[in-house]
Amino acid sequence: MLKLTINGETREVDADPSTPLLWVLRDHLDLTGTKYGCGIASCGACTVHVNGRAVRSCVLPASAAQGQQITTIEGLSSDASHPVQQAWVELDTPQCGYCQPGMIMASAALLEENPSPTDDDINSKITNICRCGTLPRVREGIHRAAEIAAKGEQA
């Protein structure tokens, strides 16, 4: 049995310890907001936070996540009030939306680390792939989220 702390709740999961965290989240815990994209940690669709850091869950063995604080898109905020979520809605950032949970999680981790990122900071830290080409809107969304966070705005 794996013991994982996910979105503030400790859960016991009967899964092979080598199973990637992504599949434990999706198949064992029904937390399907975290998406599968490539399976090799390149695209970022599977991004979650582990102890506040953006991590690609498709290559992280679930056993390595034991004793860590895991946050999925479902746990970022209960009411979409996180500044990144607010900015995404305000600016209509996503197109198809498939990669957006991972993009939001990567962006939230970036802003936690750097509350006022430059375009260069964003370009170097947000390496998630968006096949729709919304990266310019993502960059704009991150800047808007930084403004929302700085002002303490609520939706």
pLDDT tens digit sequence for 31-86: 999 999 999 999 999 999 999 999 999 999 999 999 999 999 999 999 999 999 99
pLDDT tens digit sequence for 108-153: 999 999 999 999 999 999 999 999 889 999 999 999 999 999 998 6
- Supply angle C-alpha 30, 36, 41, rounded to 5: 125
What is the per-residue pLDDT for 154? 60
Residue 155 has pLDDT above 60, yes or no: no
| Domains located in the chain, CATH noted | 2-76 (3.10.20.30), 83-151 (1.10.150.120)
Contact 42, 129 (CB under 8 A): yes
pLDDT category at 24 given cuts 50, 70, 90 is: very high
